[in-house]
Structure 1
Amino acid sequence: MSSIKNILYFQAGLGVLANMFLLLFYIFIILGHRTKPTDLISCQLTFVHIIMVLTGGDILFTDLFELLNIENDFRCKTIFYISRVMRGLSICTTCLLSVFQAVTISPSTSLLAKFKQKLKKYKVYVFLCIWSFNLSFSTNRIFYVGGFTNVSETNHMRVTKSCSLLPMNYIIRGLIFTISTSRDVFLVGVMLTTSAYMVITMFRYQRQCKYLYSISHLREPPEKRATQTILLLVSFFVIMYWLDFIISFTSDMLWMYDPVILTFQKFMMYAYPTITPLVQITSDNRIIIMLKNLKANHHQGLF
């Protein structure tokens, strides 16, 4: 079991380091006023993923709270609440990133092109709405989670090392499940719709270019690279979301969490926020050029 925990620690550590690097890069770019349309959204997504990794899986924040001797019940409610808020922010921000990129690459003659300036103008207000919604939406979960150590003698369901779900009325449980699932299905649907639109737009652009130039002499536009990155992130997010949904739904219906399934769910909990920054780092030309310059300067300094 200790080896599994070490793997989770490694995964979480890699996620935090990659997201911290990306966050510092975006802050540097934003302060330097050399931003791309999606940089501010990606910056928020990176910050959310840092907190998501720290609170997810009942590992890092739990150990810190234990060192501070904070009461288990308060510790559990705090971690669970922050984790749920960050999960909601992750899906909302990923959806916003997908929508924004779809609008960015839309042709000037399309209907979406009319929203380009409006999205830039109201971007901050959209952020405030997303944060306000998720902070308030997740408050109901606080009342149905608590810190317990001996679950076998109660009818509570253990969901992490020190946290358990309290029994709740079937109507309340069904209502919470319906609302949260409806939100997630709607956002995933928007992601898939915008992703399909981006694929069609990119295909049309390539087809038009073939009539103008030889495809071998064409330089790949930066928008295409950014679109491909977002499509990859959205695809991976949707896969991870549905796997997590199936596990959570099955566990809730059976009112039990198998330790093996719980461990697998922790891996998935870290997968998206860990892989996302790695994909963004390796696909952003600005970061690649910056790293190459640092490497060149280092070699020059040695000689």
Structure 2
Amino acid sequence: MSSLKNILYFQAGLGILANTFLLCFYTFTILGHRSKPMDPTSCQLTFAHILFLLAGGDNWLAVILESLNIENDFKCKAIFYTSRVMRGFSICITCLLSVFQAVTISPHTSLLAKFKHKLNTYIFYAVLYIWFFNFLANSHMIFYVGGFNNVSETNQMRVTQSCSLFPMNYVISGLIFTVTTFRDVFLVGVMLITSAYIVIILFRHQRHCRHLHSIRHLRVSPEKRATQTILLLVVFFVVMYWVDFIISSTSLLLWMYDPVILTVQKLVVTAYPTITPLVQISSDKRVINVLKNSQSKCQQIF
């Protein structure tokens, strides 16, 4: 158990550091008017991942709230509500990124081409809707999560050492489960469809290039590099999502609290927000150039 906890601490810490670096990079890039169309959205995604890792990783947010003498009930509500909102925002934005990339690389003769000239406007309104929807869709966490109380222990399901999930009305729980499942299945389905479309476009483009150039002289374009990054993130997210879905569904069906299962689930759900910034950093030439320039300046100083 202690080894799993140590892995979780390391993973969450690495994710927070990587996302914080990327958040600073996107912020300075946007303020410097050198940003790309999806940089503002990616900036919000990194911010959401930082909050998610603080709330759902090794519970650093709980430590912060405890240091402020916040009562346990409010602390539990704040942590779980923040975690659910940021997780929902993450899956929505990942889907939005895959759709954006599919539209961006679509041929001029395709049906998606007509959306290119208004894509930035659509993205802006889509992000606003995503924030509003996730704040509203997860509001039930405020009412059905609270501090663990030994007096009514049989009516609660412990989800952490000090927090519990209260039983819901069958109608309410069924409605919440239906809305959440429909959202996740729909978004994952869109990701898979757009990913398949992107793969087909890349395959056709690569086959066309082979007829015009020697394979040795082919260079990876920024568009293709960005597309490959989105594909990698989508595939990784879908895999982690279904593993988390299986674990959480099993826990709810058994209505039991197991610290080991909870820690494993946290490792799974925090894997995506930890890996995402590392993939983005390694695939974005702008970030790589910043790191190289910083390294050369440090070598000159020392």
Match in the other structure for 2:113: 113
Return the alpha-carbon distance in structure 2 between the equivalents of residues 57 and 177 of structure 1: 23
Q: Report the more deviating stretch, 173-182 or 200-209.
A: 173-182
Instruction: Report the more deviating stretch, 150-159 or 93-102.
Output: 150-159
- The TM-score with structure 1 as length reference comes to 0.95
Q: Which residue of 2 aligns with 1:33?
A: 33
**Alpha-carbon deviation of 1:169?**
2.2
Q: Which residue of 2 aligns with 1:126?
A: 126
1:151–1:243 Cα change, 3 Å: farther
Q: Which ranges in structure 2 are unaligned for 5 or more consecutive residues? A: none
Q: Is the 8 A contact 2:241 2:269 kept in 1?
A: no
Q: How much has 1:31 moved relative to structure 2?
A: 1.7
The number of aligned residues is 302
3-state DSSP class of the match of 1:154? Answer: helix
> Sequence identity of aligned pairs in percent?
70
Structure 2 residue aligned with 1:75: 75
Match of 1:195 in 2: 195
**Structure 1 runs of 4+ with >6 Å offset:** none
Q: Which position in structure 2 is the counterpart of 1:225?
A: 225
RMSD value, Cα: 1.6
SS in structure 2 at match of 1:205: helix
What is the CA–CA distance in structure 1 between the aligned matches of 2:254 and 2:241, rounded to whole Å? 20
Q: Aligned with 1:34: secondary structure?
A: coil
Q: What corresponds to 1:15 in structure 2?
A: 15
Instruction: Give the match for residue 238 of structure 2.
Output: 238
C-alpha distance in 2 between matches for 1:10 and 1:86 = 20
8 Å contact from structure 1 (residues 58, 160) kept in 2:
no
Task: Name the residue aligned to 2:91.
Answer: 91
Question: 1:38-187 counterparts in 2 under 5 A?
Answer: 38-57=38-57, 59-148=59-148, 150=150, 153-187=153-187
> Per-residue deviation at 1:202?
0.5
Q: C-alpha offsets along residues 200-229 of structure 1, whole Å, 9 cap, x if unaligned?
A: 000000011111111211221111111111
Q: Deviation digits for residues 165-208 of structure 1, max 9, x if unmatched? A: 10122232222111100000000000111111111000000011
Aligned partner letter, 1:267 = L
- Return the alpha-carbon distance in structure 2 between the equivalents of residues 276 and 151 of structure 1: 42
Alignment-derived partner of residue 270 in structure 2:
270
Q: Following TM superposition, by how much is the alpha carbon of 1:273 offset from its aligned partner in structure 2, in angstroms?
A: 0.7
Structure 1: runs of 5+ lacking an equivalent: none
1:295 is paired with a residue whose SS is helix
User: What amino acid maps onto 2:234 in structure 1?
Assistant: V
Residue type at the aligned position of 1:236: F
| In structure 2, C-alpha distance between the alignment counterparts of 1:52 and 1:23, rounded to whole Å | 14
Query: How far is 1:287 from its partner?
Result: 1.2
The AA in structure 2 aligned to 1:60 is: W
Alpha-carbon distance in structure 2 between the residues aligned to 1:297 and 1:75: 44
SS of residue paired to 2:107? coil
Q: CA deviation at 1:124?
A: 1.9
